[in-house]
Structure 1
Amino acid sequence: MTTLHNMPEDIKNFLRAHGLAPTGPLAAEHQVGVQLAISRVADLVMSTFEELAGQPGGRDTLWNAARAAHATPQPDADADLVKTTLDDRYHGKVHGVATAAGIQTASVNQLVEQVSGAALSIMGGLVNQNNWTAQDLSQWLRPHPGTATAGAPLAAAEYAAMPAPAAAATAGASSWVARHANALLLGVGFIAVAEFGYILGTRNPDAEVATTTAAPVAEAGAPTGRPYTAVPVASITSAADAARGKTAVPVVLKLKNGVRQIIGSNSTESKLYQFLIDPTKEVDMMDPAKGWIGFDRIYFESNKAILTNESLWQLSNIASILKRFPAAKVKLGGYTDNSGSAYINLRLSQERAKAAMTTLVSMGVPSDRLTSVGYGALDGIADNDTEEGRSLNRRVSMQVVQK
């Protein structure tokens, strides 16, 4: 009996039943990683379908796609539903699954296609078996305690009236969201406490908090009706932090389809955005050392060109901004401190710049808009005689070479 709880396993069974032999990128992957990725992709697909069902017109779109997939089972049918629904979030989520499972991003993309088709076909079977309407299917996707069978979903009024003990008794069939609710709440709470502590730690008690709002600025060449704005919210930066280039001023970048980035006004994202959107700021082709913007939240494993997971957030932000300015081209530069072999440093800086570029490409930025180069220990921005200075010199920066 199909429930939300056992959908990942049902999807795996569906893929096996249809004899899908690994092809393309998947054929070269280790099967342990593939199986782990399938489970994660199944959760991603089902949560995305739930989100789609809550959008205007999305409920009917999903219902029709499920019925069509059941009538003609094709494990890669309507994979675009996931990409369209997630929009700018898609590449970041796919990259996250690839990192967690230890397989290539291209393989995860292939799995999204197969899992989407399998999930739609299974849901189409439920629609056909139970004579579900689009509303019934939408309600089945909601993250509430389910039943042990795939019978008709609870009516909204019935679920609202369900007493707490009854809800607890059915917890064994809860959705993927319910199963991880405590972990999610703990994670969100930890992040909130950390952010609050950071704000308190950077606040200058003698400084006046100022709130300003910038008028919307239309991006040159942007589609009509899609303004891009940068809105400073509040200034809580101490003089010492300002001198070091650090800031606690939150800025909201409003992008397409209601997507927003909340970043610091002096962050890499803000600097790139403001350069691209301001028609008075021009690319200086005469001075190759001018116009570099340093990444402030990109980190690598020690002496390796492997990006840490926390680096993906900023790269995802940069990818979203670059996709809003399709004419822009960017050069990525890698740098090291001056310790160790100059040749090894040069090679490491090249590999790190390329790793950042490859990640941006995996997040949807066309490769012909990006170049990467390594400079080794050249052009240091701090004193190599101190550990802090050497840390600052080990960096990746970017330069807009075309607007």
Structure 2
Amino acid sequence: MTTLAEMPAQIQQTMEARGLLQTQALGDEQPAAVQHALPRVSELVMTSLAELASQPEGRDQVWKLAQEAAAAPASSPVGAGLVKEVLVDRFHGTVHAIATAAGVRATTVAKLLDVATGAALGLLGGLVAEHNWSAPQLAHWLRPHQAEPVLAPLAGGVAPLAAVGAGPEPSWFASRSNWLLMAVSVVAVAELGYIIGTRSADADVAAPAATSAAAGSNRQYTAIPVANLATKPVASATTVPVPVVLKLKDGVRQVIGATSTESKLYQFLVDPSKGVDPTDPTKDWIGFDRIYFDSNKATLTNESLWQLSNVASILKRFPDAKIKIGGYTDNTGQPLSNLRLSKDRAQAALDALVSLGVPTSRLTAVGYGVLDNIASNDTEEGRAVNRRVSMQVVQK
């Protein structure tokens, strides 16, 4: 009997044995890079199926799809789009992280996920037939991974599955793919710490606020404070930012800081009293506060994907909105090099948003170099502040 720990390897073997990798339109992807992506893809499929099976309405869905997949021809895999359905707004950020780590396109990862889902469901269908499992029994078999949910938006990874092989299990750190999972976990913990850190230790949790500034409009969004600092005085003389939940349509939520980039963007878009001023190019810029680049490069770090995924999710809820992304540097180095670097960094942010599902037609990237510094370049702290990427809504 195939064990749960062996499933990721079995999925890959099934895909290769049936020639599913060759039949997909993977373009000019390097075979080695595709092979490097497969373990992460297989793990994500299994974690997503476990998450779906943990839900009452999803349990029967997995069971029925498994039986359907077992009887379907290899050329017609079942379950296309299922992982995207489970992850919702987490999908694009997770796919982008896998693609970046493996060196393949995000579209390739999405195709591999569909094929791997069909292979996984087929294997599960075989187990259902072999053991005459009911839907609850299949869900119970998957249960060990239900405690390891797929990470939130822009975490970019999947929960680890047990190592495959006979005899004693190798160290979890022995797998190269697990180093990515560990890095992703650090990002998730850091994001959680950011949210928790914005709460007052003495604040009472209050009922969510009823509506946002757009309550009277046709938009389906609300900004909901999750803590009420007015109910009890805080020890610090400084006002502590309140975390908010952005309630997007289809039940999608983002928990963010009240003064974060995401909150400022959302509130600007949802508030009908805030308009775009085409005559003042310096007005209403919103700085990204959690995206970072490698030193002197335009290469985004992995932790930047979290915020970019959040921003992409918000922009997709406001389909008419267009934004300009501006890159800036401090005054050290050659002005021309700084200008080029600032444009490349703005473009990198734009490219990431496109890969996360935002149409290119809604985005522009501009490099401003040392223009519009917002802090003194006389100190390292000031120079760090000036090295930034911001965005401006140019159409609502």
Q: Unpaired segments of 5 or more residues in structure 1?
A: 146-169
Candidates 293, 302, 308, aligned match of 1:315: 308
Residues 96-151 of structure 1: CA distance to partner in whole angstroms, max 9, x if unpaired? 22233233322211211211111111112222333322222222211179xxxxxx
Superposition deviation, residue 2 in structure 1: 1.5
Decide which structure has the larger Cα Rg and report it: 1
Corresponding position of 1:5:
5
Identity %: 54
Corresponding position of 2:281:
288
Corresponding position of 2:97:
96
Q: Give the counterpart letter for 1:368 in structure 2.
A: S
CA distance in 2, matches of 1:250, 1:197: 6
Corresponding position of 1:59:
59
Q: Which moved more, 1:298-307 or 1:315-324?
A: 315-324
Superposition deviation, residue 21 in structure 1: 4.4
Superposition deviation, residue 194 in structure 1: 8.8
CA distance in 1, matches of 2:190, 2:268: 31
Q: Give the counterpart letter for 1:355 in structure 2.
A: A
Q: TM-score, normalised by structure 1?
A: 0.79
8 Å CA contact 2:187–2:303 kept in 1: the answer is no
Q: Residue 143 of structure 2: SS of its match in structure 1? A: coil
Superposition deviation, residue 171 in structure 1: 11
Distance 1:190 1:277, change over 3 A: closer
Corresponding position of 1:157:
none
Q: Residue 346 of structure 2: SS of its match in structure 1? A: helix
Q: Give the counterpart letter for 2:307 in structure 1.
A: Q
CA distance in 1, matches of 2:394, 2:85: 30
Residues 209-233 of structure 1: CA distance to partner in whole angstroms, max 9, x if unpaired? 69876431256432xxx44223162
Give the number of equivalent residue pairs. Answer: 360
8 Å CA contact 2:195–2:256 kept in 1: the answer is no
- Aligned residue runs from structure 1 range 245-324, under 5 A: 248-324=241-317
Q: Residue 142 of structure 1: SS of its match in structure 2? A: helix
Corresponding position of 2:139:
138
1:390 partnered with 2:391: no
CA distance in 2, matches of 1:326, 1:115: 31
Residues 344-377 of structure 1: CA distance to partner in whole angstroms, max 9, x if unpaired? 1111111111111111121122222212111111
Q: Give the counterpart letter for 1:83 in structure 2.
A: K
Corresponding position of 2:158:
none
CA distance in 1, matches of 2:192, 2:90: 24
Residues 280-338 of structure 1: CA distance to partner in whole angstroms, max 9, x if unpaired? 11111111111110011110000111111111111111112112212211111111112
Corresponding position of 1:368:
361
8 Å CA contact 2:340–2:369 kept in 1: the answer is yes
8 Å CA contact 1:15–1:75 kept in 2: the answer is no
Corresponding position of 1:221:
218
Corresponding position of 1:82:
83
Distance 1:237 1:76, change over 3 A: farther
Distance 1:248 1:68, change over 3 A: same
Distance 1:342 1:24, change over 3 A: farther
8 Å CA contact 1:357–1:372 kept in 2: the answer is yes
8 Å CA contact 1:74–1:117 kept in 2: the answer is no
Q: Give the counterpart letter for 1:322 in structure 2.
A: L
Corresponding position of 2:151:
none
Distance 1:332 1:238, change over 3 A: farther
Corresponding position of 2:159:
none
8 Å CA contact 1:305–1:352 kept in 2: the answer is yes
Q: Unpaired segments of 5 or more residues in structure 2?
A: 147-165
Distance 1:284 1:76, change over 3 A: farther
Corresponding position of 2:123:
122
CA distance in 2, matches of 1:191, 1:127: 37
Corresponding position of 2:45:
45
CA distance in 1, matches of 2:323, 2:362: 6
Q: Give the counterpart letter for 2:225 in structure 1.
A: V
- Aligned residue runs from structure 1 range 184-223, under 5 A: 191=189, 195=193, 199=197, 214-217=209-212, 218=214, 220-222=217-219
Distance 1:308 1:193, change over 3 A: closer
Residues 381-400 of structure 1: CA distance to partner in whole angstroms, max 9, x if unpaired? 11122211111111110011
8 Å CA contact 1:232–1:265 kept in 2: the answer is no
Corresponding position of 1:164:
none
1:233 partnered with 2:259: no
Superposition deviation, residue 238 in structure 1: 5.9
8 Å CA contact 1:211–1:232 kept in 2: the answer is yes
CA distance in 2, matches of 1:46, 1:232: 33
Q: Give the counterpart letter for 2:300 in structure 1.
A: L
Corresponding position of 1:15:
15
Q: TM-score, normalised by structure 2?
A: 0.80
8 Å CA contact 1:347–1:374 kept in 2: the answer is yes
